[in-house]
Amino acid sequence: MITQLGHFSLVLALGIALLQAVLPLAGAHTGNRQWMGVARPAAQVQFVLLAIAFASLVWAFVNDDFSLLYVASNSNTAMPTIYKVSAVWGAHEGSLLLWAFILAIWSLAVTIFSRSLPLVYVARVLGIMGLISVGFLLFMLLTSNPFEAIFPAPFEGRELNPLLQDPGLAIHPPMLYMGYVGFSVAFAFAIAALLGGRLDAAWARWSRPWTTAAWIFLTIGIVLGSWWAYYELGWGGWWFWDPVENASFMPWLIGTALIHSLAVTEKRDTFKAWTVLLAIFAFSLSLLGTFLVRSGVLTSVHAFATDPDRGLFILVFLGIVIGGSLGLYAWRGKQIRSSGSFALLSREMLMLLNNMILVGLAAGTLLGTLYPLVMDALTGEKISVGKPWFDFIFMVVSPFLILLTGLGPLVRWKRHDKAELLRSLRVPAVVTVLSFIVAAAVFYAGDSPAFKVALGLALAIWIVATLMDSLLGKFANRRMSLAGLAGLGGGYWGMWLAHFGLAAFITGVTVVSAFAQQDDVTVKPGDSVTLAGYSFRFEGVTETRGPNYAAQRGSVFVYRDGKLVAELEPEKRVYSNAGMPMTEAAIDSNLARDLYVSLGEPLEDGSWLMRVYYKPLQSWIWWAGGLMALGGILAAADRRYRRILRREERQRENAQALLEELLGEAGAARAGGSN
């Protein structure tokens, strides 16, 4: 009954989405305020309907309603409740419903936080989001319905893939989707600007917090996925350049370019057409990422849907969205004219270079991901492009980007005097070069790749040195006290933290890549293994049970200089329903290093195959992601976005919008100034 209600809600939501899409967009074109006024309530109703649909699916899982094929395929009575809930988005159909629900959440947010926006804009933005919702709802109802029934209903379900039965992975898709879907807001703003033929600093100011918010979620989602892969997959790696990983990384790179480009558009009223194009690309890549994951077209460690029919639908949908938006850009892009010139040495120039590099990296990632596919289609040759190529490209190109990251905050808008810049760069430059030399000298003796380590560390120090330089400069210029630091604003501190996070990331990656150690050993109870000054003593394995699995739990004591440092309990589990074995690694993590142990296989003589890792500064990679996200939060929360528009500003903007309706669009504007 409840699930039938959910199914019905889903169908109703499609109808409402159509209304939300067609009426406001038509109304914006003809100046019909009543039609435009449909946008907000339609979005709100759609949210309620999708909330009902989603809640009913959650209910079905929690109550073991196996009359739904999707529930029966992904859950069973023995699973812990939390994983029954996360199983809702653990496979194809449910994750689509999550996508649609999250789109409804973002739309709802737009209805709430858009009071100061002209109605024409709100109508267009929500209308575009309505169109996207129509696409996803159709996809679900036509090819991937989570409410599809199975008759007769089985007594017991299958299983959620044990790899997904994990708190980290439970939250990873929602975070990622919040990011992907969040870029639809930036996309909708961009299309609305193209449709309206107007793009000014106000547009950029509206778009920025939404785009930053989406970027924050995407950052968190990617870091969570990477962290999960690290502790769950048992191989000690945290990034494999897997097509699905790349699918999330590309929109992140473009999103990063977009938030920088939006800063320029807001502050300097330039790069406008480029920003619109970036917004289109960011969302297109988010959709492309969905396509790559859903169609199983690429061999991927993650692929969990391999139905070509569904892939075809998404391909068509993608074609309409990308083709339509780029077509609109080609047609209307000329109307978006940028004013404002800038010198060769200016922050605008550095931002432009930043954008070029980020776009280049995204293009490179796309190339590496699609190259095997294209070569297979063209020549039938089976090629794989893996870690070595991606690492190579990123290691060659990143130093340039990092150089810019340090320079950016120190260079002024419009023009900066070259001599003055060189003077202010003296200290950071000297510190950086010195660190490079010292690092190279220190590590030259060992068998680590001294040049790479020295370069990585020097680059990280370059960022930190320039950040400190910038901060101290603010102190000096404004004769500020420590208390005045808060007055610098969310935008500045957001930048500062996020860039600092980048430096932490580079340091972590450099050190762990160069200095990590691992060993595969065969151990009997009582045996010890030494690695990197730590002694791992294997105490044997005990049988134990979980709610839906049986496990062999190992016991490993780790000593350093004779003192007990950690007790690790790696497990080898077998999940009862599917009979699938799974390795659960044991990690002792602190800021200095990770100690990682995973059980391999039991051998015939009663000993075990075990792998131990020593990973210095591994946790810096996760903390760095957290810092970047925190930086984003500070930036998005900057007071100037929340400041209620002063009365004159508001009146001016509404008058302008009214004027446009009268002059630009056919049809009469209604009386009354505000929306």
Partner 1 sequence: MRPARKRRLYLVLLILIGAAAFVSLAMWGLGEYKMFFFKPSQVVRGEAPPGRAFKIGGLVKEGSVRRDGKTVEFTITDTLADVVIRYTGSLPDLFREGQGIVADGRLNANGVFEATNVLAKHDENYMPPEVAEALKESGAMPPHELARPKPGAPRPLGAQ
Which residue, 307 or 569, is less far from partner 1 as judged by CB? Answer: 307
Which residue, 6 or 234, is less far from partner 1 as judged by CB? Answer: 234
DSSP secondary structure letter of residue 51: H
| H/E run at residue 431 | helix 418-444
Which residue, 470 or 577, is less far from partner 1 as judged by CB? Answer: 577
Kindly state the tokens that stand for 462: 């370059």
DSSP secondary structure letter of residue 665: S
CA neighbor of 284 nearest in space, from 409, 164, 180, 398: 180
CA neighbor of 61 nearest in space, from 136, 146, 143, 141: 146
Which residue, 215 or 231, is less far from partner 1 as judged by CB? Answer: 231
Which residue, 264 or 635, is less far from partner 1 as judged by CB? Answer: 264
| Minimum distance, C-beta of residue 379 to partner 1, in the bound complex (Å) | 11
| Minimum distance, C-beta of residue 71 to partner 1, in the bound complex (Å) | 9
Which residue, 604 or 648, is less far from partner 1 as judged by CB? Answer: 604
What Å distances lie between residue 308 and 99, 291, 311, 459, CA to CA? 20, 11, 5, 45
| Minimum distance, C-beta of residue 340 to partner 1, in the bound complex (Å) | 12
Which residue, 110 or 362, is less far from partner 1 as judged by CB? Answer: 362
> How far is 364 from 563, CA to CA, in rounded Å?
48
Which residue, 109 or 303, is less far from partner 1 as judged by CB? Answer: 303
Q: Residue 179, class by beta-carbon neighbours within 10 Å (0-12 exposed, 13-18 middle, 19+ buried)?
A: buried
| Minimum distance, C-beta of residue 306 to partner 1, in the bound complex (Å) | 6
The HSE-up count of residue 648 (CA atoms within 13 Å, CB side) is 0
- How would you label 219-253 residue by residue, b for 16+ Cβ within 10 Å and e otherwise? bbbbbbbbbbbbbbbbbbebbbbbbbbbbbbbbbb
Which residue, 306 or 530, is less far from partner 1 as judged by CB? Answer: 306
| Minimum distance, C-beta of residue 310 to partner 1, in the bound complex (Å) | 12
| Minimum distance, C-beta of residue 154 to partner 1, in the bound complex (Å) | 4
| Minimum distance, C-beta of residue 233 to partner 1, in the bound complex (Å) | 9
Question: Where does this chain bind partner 1 (CB under 8 A)?
Answer: 66, 69, 72-74, 150, 154-158, 161, 163, 234, 296, 299, 301-304, 306-307, 341, 343-344, 352, 356, 360, 364, 367-368, 371, 381-386, 388-389, 392-393, 396-397, 520-522, 576-583, 598-601, 603-604, 609, 611
| Minimum distance, C-beta of residue 92 to partner 1, in the bound complex (Å) | 10
What Å distances lie between residue 518 and 234, 484, 487, 610, 615, CA to CA? 12, 48, 48, 11, 8
| Minimum distance, C-beta of residue 470 to partner 1, in the bound complex (Å) | 26
Spatial neighbors of 224 by CB under 8 A, at least 6 apart, are 168, 169, 171, 172, 175, 176
- Contact, 118 vs 2, CB < 8 A? no
637 three-state secondary structure = coil
- Contact, 336 vs 239, CB < 8 A? no
| Minimum distance, C-beta of residue 197 to partner 1, in the bound complex (Å) | 24
| Minimum distance, C-beta of residue 57 to partner 1, in the bound complex (Å) | 16
What Å distances lie between residue 107 and 39, 101, 340, 425, CA to CA? 10, 10, 33, 45
Which residue, 28 or 455, is less far from partner 1 as judged by CB? Answer: 455
> How far is 133 from 110, CA to CA, in rounded Å?
14
**Interior CA angle at 206 toward 47 and 329, to 5°?**
90
| Minimum distance, C-beta of residue 605 to partner 1, in the bound complex (Å) | 9
Amino acid of residue 305: A
Which residue, 499 or 611, is less far from partner 1 as judged by CB? Answer: 611
Which residue, 443 or 613, is less far from partner 1 as judged by CB? Answer: 613
Q: Residue 158, class by beta-carbon neighbours within 10 Å (0-12 exposed, 13-18 middle, 19+ buried)?
A: middle
- Contact, 585 vs 476, CB < 8 A? no
| Minimum distance, C-beta of residue 120 to partner 1, in the bound complex (Å) | 34
* Pairs from 366-369 (Cβ < 8 Å, separation ≥ 24): 366/246, 366/250, 368/241, 368/246, 368/393, 369/243, 369/246, 369/247, 369/292, 369/298
Kindly state the tokens that stand for 583: 């390795």
Which residue, 367 or 480, is less far from partner 1 as judged by CB? Answer: 367
